[in-house]
Chains A and B, each alone.
Chain A
């Protein structure tokens, strides 16, 4: 039973990493690949509708971890305290930049949220690497 849950939980994490990894990658390359304003809107449009669906895998992974492997979640989250909060803040900033960035059709507004978007994707990569060791 426990082995089956282990497979399920691992599968959910892998699905999340694959799906959102694509978003992180395009987010980090956003500034360098997409040059014009239209190209940047296209990158955001490729992530915007999907990121919250992808994040459901992470939320579900966390929830099942609490239910099935509470000891693992408790020691990992408390042990990697600061890394976890950096991930958290990074996810908040990325979510907000995607949601409000295209809300107002203004060059300065979109430029600012493009910056927050790229910055938060880089910020996320660092603690994810730390936690992955």
Chain B
């Protein structure tokens, strides 16, 4: 690790890793929450029950704050392709630029156009258009996610490209690139995980109001929808999407699968380690407790299947941080399992009508919301650490991708700058969301004295004043 301090690729990786981890805390809630808004707005249209509209108005405000932080922390991602990863951009820009441009123009435009309508347009445009806005925002956020996942899927499993005469990558088949099988599996896994985050957050707010004995109708609504969606999404994250993702890794990145499990020796009846630390120097897993045959079964479908070990591959093709990869993967799996059990029990209690009166369960649900964020982050660390030492798997090394003209000091300076700026942004976000939660769902449209949201509303307010 010592040599890393003078390694420019290390600092650029750390900066990208930090800024994208922080950024993704926001889109995962956006993508998860969006479908709650669509569902409640649809219920409001069908039943004309005002409680659904109240829920939409309340969560749209939380959504708006979350969306704004997501947008401003997303711009640095695109910038860093040029500033810190010039080698990679030069080499693969002809391919990855396609989806980055589509994401920027199409999906981001769709979202930012309709988010204003979703937050303030209810009174002016009417119920039907308000529903359409919720749907457009949800679709926009998922299409955004799809384009980004296609870009990442290309880095994990490159398809649809050719090497041009100047040695750089170009598109040979746009449809192959966009329909990368890796992207679809990743999309299913990632979007279900975003729904888990959304469900846990909705449930946590419901549990908070229940424990406080506030807004009881709203609290009941959040708890019922949150636990049910949480259960379904937690199951789908594991099976089939997570299962398919692991099989995909086993098929295309066998060395990564071996590293994720800390397996140094190959063999049949490979086990899954419930606990244990990888010892890379000693080439073994220390203090393991294994379920025999489980890995063979999960990755290849039978308990007898042969699973490769790291020693069968040259050590320069191993992921460069096996310990971190192993811990990320195992923590994700552990948390995912706990989510299923917790949400299954909570849904059962909710179905029996006993959830509201079970104080300890409400406490657990209220405090559980950070863990899906951790699980999502661990999943992405598994994907990205597992891809190493390649930037584009099998094609292009990470050590070739960074900007040669940027010295370490510059990157360290901007990395420190980001930590400071993002700390302040985090405090601001928590304060504003906490304020909305304390204030609670409103009784009627615009029934409070606070000017909220972007300048869009200020403009609206101004128009109304002029009309008066």
Name the 5 nearest CB pairs between A and B, nearest first: A48-B455, A70-B93, A77-B82, A67-B97, A63-B101
Using C-beta atoms within 8 Å of the partner chain, give the interface range for chain A.
35 or more
Residues on B with C-beta less than 8 A from A42 are: 462
Residues on A with C-beta less than 8 A from B104 are: 56, 59-60, 62-63
Provide 19 A-B residue pairs closer than 8 Å at the C-beta atoms, listed in order of the A residue: A47-B455, A49-B454, A49-B459, A60-B105, A63-B78, A63-B101, A64-B97, A65-B97, A73-B89, A76-B82, A77-B79, A77-B89, A92-B75, A92-B425, A98-B455, A99-B65, A100-B428, A102-B457, A103-B450
> Which residues between 85 and 131 of chain B lie within 8 Å of chain A, taking CB atoms?
86-87, 89-94, 96-98, 100-105, 108-109, 112-113, 116
Check if B83 sits within 8 Å of A59, measured CB to CB. no
Residues on B with C-beta less than 8 A from A33 are: none
Check if A56 sits within 8 Å of B414, measured CB to CB. no
> Which residues between 345 and 403 of chain B lie within 8 Å of chain A, taking CB atoms?
403
Check if A59 sits within 8 Å of B81, measured CB to CB. no
Check if A66 sits within 8 Å of B96, measured CB to CB. yes
Residues on B with C-beta less than 8 A from A63 are: 78, 97, 100-105
B267 within 8 A of A: no
With A66-B100, A73-B82 in contact, do A96 and B405 touch (Cβ < 8 Å)?
no
> Which residue, of A47, A64, A89, A92, has the highest number of chain B Cβ atoms within 10 A?
A92
B72 within 8 A of A: yes
Binding site for B on A (CB under 8 A): 41-42, 44-49, 51-53, 55-56, 59-60, 62-68, 70-71, 73-79, 81-82, 84-85, 88-89, 91-92, 95-96, 98-100, 102-105
Check if B113 sits within 8 Å of A53, measured CB to CB. yes
B458 within 8 A of A: yes
Residues on B with C-beta less than 8 A from A79 are: 405
- What does DSSP make chain B's interface, helix, strand, loop or mixed? helix
Check if B410 sits within 8 Å of A81, measured CB to CB. yes
Residues on B with C-beta less than 8 A from A71 are: 90, 93
Residues on B with C-beta less than 8 A from A100 are: 65, 68, 428, 432
B14 within 8 A of A: no
Check if B94 sits within 8 Å of A70, measured CB to CB. yes
> Which residues between 449 and 464 of chain B lie within 8 Å of chain A, taking CB atoms?
449-459, 462
Given contacts A49-B455, A74-B87, 13 further A-B contacts (CB under 8 A): A44-B458, A48-B459, A49-B456, A62-B100, A64-B101, A70-B97, A73-B89, A73-B93, A78-B86, A91-B72, A92-B72, A95-B72, A103-B451
Binding site for A on B (CB under 8 A): 65, 68-69, 71-73, 75-76, 78-79, 81-84, 86-87, 89-94, 96-98, 100-105, 108-109, 112-113, 116, 168, 403-406, 410, 413-414, 417, 421, 425, 428, 432, 435, 449-459, 462
Residues on B with C-beta less than 8 A from A62 are: 78-79, 82, 100, 104
Give chain B nearest CB distance to A24 CB in angstroms: 15
